[in-house]
Structure 1
Amino acid sequence: MSFTRELLDTLKYLNLARTNMVAAWPKSFYRRELIHQKVLGRNIFILNRPEDVQRVMVSNAGNYKKSLANRQALKPILGQGLFVSEGKLWERQRKLLSPSTHRNRLKGYAQTMVETGRETVEKLNGSDESQIVDLTEELTLLTSDIITRTMFGVKLGERNQLLYQAFQDYLASHGRIHMSELIGLPAWIPRPGQGKGKAAVRLFDSVILSVIEQRQKSNDRHDDLLEMLLEFRDEQGEEMGFTLLRDEVASIYLAGHETTAITLTWAFYLLHEHPEVKQKLWDELESVLEGRDPTFDDVPKLAYTRAVVEESLRLYPPVHVFSRQALGKDVVAGIPVPKGSFMTISSYVLHRHKLLWENPDAFEPERFLPGRSGDVKQYSYIPFGAGPRICMGKHFGLMEAVLLLALFAQHYDCKLKSGHPVEPLGRMTLRPHMGMPMRMVKRSRS
């Protein structure tokens, strides 16, 4: 490919990325291992080779920080929380929060997940089968309820809907990545639409702060993440400041529910499109569960169910792009990387790359079954990121997705509204454009 054509492809991507990043990727990028262009004096690298992904995200991760685009999208709502912070603050907060998602806590979380999921199932059971529901919204409300119950010990009730609306409003105002961030213009330069998300953040805060204040007034002892944050003392014996406490609660809330809801949405869409896969899923559920609700002990037995989740994450990764900026010089794929270069890794492109996958666009859960590990090259599949900043809620999220997929698939055959166009919209996360309207057809359970 000529230099001029590559430059035009890159400029086209940068322009279209503001509206929908995954639709902006040129077809040529799905066959290229590395794209390097200089745009307005800024070095931009797009990495599609597992070795280079490892270099930037793992082996030399200390040389790369989250890019301005990442920080600008998240900072208004997450402040200095774990997913925005860098350096010593990030290290301290990561160490503090990690125990909340440790494997030894998963069994207790699993019970809460299924109990909360059962409430949603029963609510939907009361509706007419001809009724169309936006599955994305239903699942987001459900996973929102789960994360607040498991991590903060709170049932939100009507406040759950307020949080949902606040985040949808925030996505509408901050979901687009602006050209100024993609090419690294300074943070002090105004971005279009910056003021529109303030009302959304205020509404979001009204709920988050009420959760914190409710706990602070309580005399009861809780064994959850919020209690860990409130009891924290630094080396000088100082407690966590209220602002940072708020930022960490907000970070865990958003990271702990949004991606799982989107993963399940795409999974049910893919099952609708592939009835033969759906039948294999139903067969496994009948064999393992025999009509009862899933439990923590069932998760290892639900191999095909998990494979459906992992293949859904491959085709539609909720976190569809990772962006880093070089703190110092480096060399990637034999090419010098100057300080300040922008390194882009699109999990959406990587997961569908023609050189890395057999039948990359096909929905084939079998590639993730036990004994098929050779089908997935290391660092070609990164739905949770990689390296020091890998999502610490990975095991929580995977277990939640498996349990809820099993629970809902036992009760419902989800059918997409006739004629509804399904398009992945890549902004802050990879959501279906215009939602996922589905008819929840009840299944008979023997």
Structure 2
Amino acid sequence: MSTAIGAGPARKARLFPLYRTLPGFVRDPLRQIERISEAAGGEVLRLDLGASRPFLVTRPDHVQQVLRRESENFVRDGVFWRPLRALMGDSILAEGDEWELSKRVLQPVFTTRNVNALTELMAHAIGDAVDKLEEPARTGRPIDVLPEMSRIVNETVIKVLFGDKISPVEADRIIPAMDQVATSITFRFLLPFVPHSIPLPGDRAFRDAVKVMDETLFGLVEKYREDPGDGKDVFTALCHARTADGGELTDRWVRDNLLAMFATSTETTTVALSWLWPLLDDHPKVAEKLQEEVVRVVGDERVRPSHLSDLHYVRRTVQELLRLYPVGWMFPRIATKPTSIGGVPIRPGNTVLISPFLTHRLESVWDRPLEFDPDRFLPERAAGQHRYAYFPFGGGPHQCIGRHVFNVEAQMILASILSRFRPALSASVPAMPRIGATLRPRQALEMNLTPIRRCA
């Protein structure tokens, strides 16, 4: 049996039975899990969900063991992956040979060199997308935050990462379907052990949305499969892909990876940026400091890649945003061999849950963990922090390959909006998340934009 650092003698994990927490779980599942994590204080615990009894691991050294040191022993499989596997199949979100193949094909698109080469195109796409906020700002019409962030992100991603091969008509079908999947999958994500023969709320909406995405994506594959061009985008890379021995890959494989990359490259940035505005509304000093830096660095210009190196507070704000509200809030794993974590025996087939949301809020790890403070990421304050105290993009071999794209895109969108408008929520709304595959705001957010200049 392999051992974890500091494991010590074998012991039992503290058990939290479902019947004790069911009322709170039904009312607010995320808050209930957060309370359980607080009670455990970073120690390994076990959730008794009846049909499933996963371990919950939150301490940074334990997280590092699962995601990095023993990553081959903890695989992405089991009932908690069932909803996503049903949606995205043998894509980069799979495991084993399927994941290796997808990563080999897609990795060149997301190298730092290629992303840097695409940043000028990204800046133009973001500038054009933010231009469309001028009309509601001029007329005083409030914007609906989540749909508008989604529009800006999707217009950017389609042009930059998908080679502009998705037309406006096709985008108008995929984007609402993706939104429908993100909201309808909630109960299947929370109750993955419930057989599909037992209907749950959202099942029909999920099936309808997948049907729309299948029709659209398979149509795109048929259109571009034989002649995708020679660009450096996701679409072209997938259409040119071959197996290790030179064999052709199926249309289903291309579709699965198109869907996985579209979902992860749009949902992450959209949801993260949607959380920003209620946080700034609650922290006016942070908002003032952020706007001052953006206006000083960008001036009367459009945001360019060259501005990013001077937008230090913007970068820290995005980091802190993902600390409090990591979009991928839960990473399930299945053990394949006997081991132990913190002295607790883990057997083959046991599920281990890793949660950036919970680790990022541990009092034993972070000073004032619930406070929104971008300056906690100043180099002198972040020095000495455990590598896995902060892991919004996962870690180890399965760390998100699009993390550099997210950081550049999120900073550019934030800077572009704040260089041209002063945003203010129409009404103060608490930053309350709704649990699901990602953490979306529970309530709709409306925001007014006051113009401060027009781009030349």
Same fold judged by TM-score > 0.5? yes
Write out aligned runs for 1:106-121 (5 A).
106-121=115-130
What is residue 234 of structure 1 aligned with on the other side? 243
2:170 to 153, 159, 170: 159
Which residue number corresponds to residue 35 of structure 2? 27
- Deviations, residues 14-52 of structure 1 (Å, cap 9, x unaligned): 776577542222525225112433734854221121110
Q: Percent identity?
A: 24
Partner of residue 56, structure 1: 66
Residue of structure 1 in register with 2:5 after alignment: none
Question: Is this contact kept in 1: 2:339–2:346, CA < 8 A?
Answer: yes
Counterpart residue number, 1:199: 208
Aligned positions of 1:36-435 closer than 5 A? 36-37=45-46, 39=48, 40=50, 42-83=52-93, 85-127=94-136, 128-154=138-164, 156-177=167-188, 180-181=191-192, 190=198, 192-193=200-201, 194-216=203-225, 218=227, 220-374=229-383, 376-418=385-427, 420-435=429-444
Shifted more, 55-64 versus 281-290: the winner is 281-290
**For 1:106-127, what per-residue CA distance to the aligned partner results, in whole angstroms no more than 9, with x for missing partners?**
2332223222222222211012
After superposition, give the CA deviation of every residue in 1:125-151 in whole Å (9 maximum; x if it has no partner): 012453121111111122122222222
Deviation larger for 264-273 or 324-333: 264-273
**Cα distance change, pair 419–308 in 1 and its aligned pair in 2 (3 A):** closer
Output the CA distance in 2 between the equivalents of 1:177 and 1:245. 25
User: Would the aligned equivalents of 2:77 and 2:95 in 1 still touch at CA under 8 Å?
Assistant: no
Conservation of the 8 A alpha-carbon contact between 1:42 and 1:341: no
Q: CA separation of 1:123/1:192 partners in 2, compared to 1, >3 Å: closer, same or farther? A: same
> Secondary structure in 2 aligned to 1:158?
helix
Deviates more, 1:63-72 or 1:344-353: 63-72
Q: Is the 8 A contact 2:427 2:446 kept in 1?
A: no
Q: What runs of 5+ residues in structure 2 fail to find an aligned partner?
A: 1-13
Contact 1:13 1:24 in 2 (8 A): yes
Q: For the structure 1 residues 69 and 287, does the alpha-carbon distance in structure 2 shift closer, same or farther, using more than 3 Å as the test?
A: farther
CA contact (8 A) 2:325 2:439 kept: yes
| SS of equivalent residue, structure 2 residue 132 | helix
State the shift of 1:207 in Å.
2.7
CA distance in structure 2 between the aligned counterparts of 1:434 and 1:289, rounded to whole angstroms: 32
Alpha-carbon spacing, 1:341–1:281, altered in 2? closer, same or farther (3 Å): same
Contact 1:145–1:156, Cα closer than 8 Å, also in 2: no
How much does 1:202 deviate? 1.4
For residues 239-258 of structure 1, the C-alpha deviation after alignment (integer angstroms, 9 at most, x for no partner) is 11111011111111111111
- For residue 57 of structure 1, report the CA deviation from its aligned partner: 0.8
Q: Secondary structure at the match of 1:366?
A: helix
Contact 1:132 1:440 (8 Å CA) reproduced: yes
Alpha carbons of 1:20 and 1:146: their partners in 2 closer, same or farther (altered >3 Å)? farther
TM-score (norm 1): 0.90
2:10 is aligned to none
Contact 2:184–2:206 under 8 Å retained in 1: yes
Structure 1 residues without counterparts, runs of 5 or longer: 1-5
What amino acid sits opposite 1:274 in the alignment?
H
The equivalences for 1:428-443 within 5 A come to 428-443=437-452
Provide, for residues 148-195 of structure 1, a one-character-per-residue CA deviation record: whole Å limited to 9, x for no partner. Answer: 2222212532332322210122223212245653xx57x676463544
User: CA separation of 1:313/1:13 partners in 2, compared to 1, >3 Å: closer, same or farther?
Assistant: farther
Contact 2:277 2:425 (C-alpha < 8 Å) held by counterparts: no
User: Greater shift after overlay, 90-99 or 22-31?
Assistant: 22-31
Tell me the CA shift for residue 62 of structure 1: 0.8
Closer/same/farther in 2, CA of residues 156 and 69 from structure 1, 3 Å limit: farther
Aligned AA (1:228): A
Pair 1:67–1:34, CA change in 2 (3 A)? farther
* Cα pair distance change 1:178/1:366, threshold 3 Å: closer
Structure 1 range deviating more: 19-28 or 225-234? 19-28
Retained in 1: the 8 A contact 2:78–2:351? Answer: no
**Does structure 2 conserve the Cα–Cα contact (< 8 Å) formed by 1:233 and 1:240?**
yes
- Residue aligning to 1:3: none
Give the Å deviation of 1:398.
Answer: 0.6
TM-score when normalising by structure 2: 0.88
Q: Give the partner amino acid of 1:349.
A: L
Alignment RMSD (CA, Å): 2.6
Structure 1: 4+ residue segments shifted above 6 A: none
Deviation at 1:312, TM superposition (A): 0.5
CA drift at 1:54: 0.5
CA distance in 2, matches of 1:222, 1:41: 48
**8 Å CA contact 1:140, 1:261 repeated in 2:** yes
